[in-house]
A = this chain, B = another copy of it.
Amino acid sequence: MDTQQMQMEQMGQFRITVWEEENFQGKHCEFMQECRNIMERDFRKIRSIKVENGVFIGYEYPEFQGQQFILEKGDYPRWEAWSGNSGYRTEHLLSFRPIKCAKHSDSKVTLYECKDLTGRKFELCNDYPSLQAMGWCSKEVASMKVNSGAWVAYQFPGYRGYQYILERDRHEGEYRNYNEYGTQAHSHQVQSIRRIQQ
C-alpha cells in the first residue's frame, strides 16, 4: 500500500455499511476497510448495503472467493441490486474489499485473442458496452493486461452477467487465462467492459 492509499483509508475515503436485512433494516456495521468474512462479525448474511465513499468489490464467499460484485457509491436495498446475474442467482455476499487503484481518467487495458497475452490484441481507454460494436470479432477474450486503473469486464453485452474486476495492482495487472478473471469464471466469454470510477 503506498502513502496516498494509506492516507485515503485514514481519511475515510472508503466507507461501506452493511445490514443483515433488506431495505437497511436490522443489525448493521460500518467498514472503512476490507472485511474477509462477515460471519466473524456475527452476521448470518448481508441483505442491504450502502456505499458512502469509494468503490468496493463484494464476493460471494469469505476470503474474496466466488462471484464478484462491483459496488459503486449508492444504495443497494436488496441482493438483486448488486448481483445483476439473473441466471446464477446467489444471495450470498460474505466478504468485500475497497478497490484502490481505480483512476477513471487514466485507465488502459489490452485485450488478447489467445491466453498468456498472445495473439491479436486491442488496447482500450474507454467504456465499451459492446466489444463487438467496437470491432472485436469474437464474444470471447482469452487474456487481458491492465496497464493502468481498474476495470470491470462482463460476460454479456450492456454490462450484464458475470462481473470480473481487473486491477492494475493485482497479479501486476496480468490476467493470463480465464480462471484468473475470477474464482467462479468458467469461460472466456467477455462481451462488455468499462472503467471503474473512484
Contact = CB atoms under 8 A, between A and B. Distances in A.
Interface stretch (A11-19, A70-78, A171-179): A70-78
Contact of A73 (B70, B80, B133): B133
B86 A157 contact: no
A26 B71 CA distance: 38
Interface residues of A, number: 41
Interface in A93-120: none
A65 interface: no
A80 B74 contact: no
Contact of A157 (B76, B88, B129, B131): B76
A7 to B, nearest CB: 19
B159 A81 contact: no
B84 A131 contact: no
A59 interface: no
Contacts of A197: 128-130, 133
B75 A158 contact: no
A70 B158 contact: yes
Closest 6 CB pairs of A and B: A80-B87, A74-B157, A72-B130, A73-B133, A80-B86, A81-B156
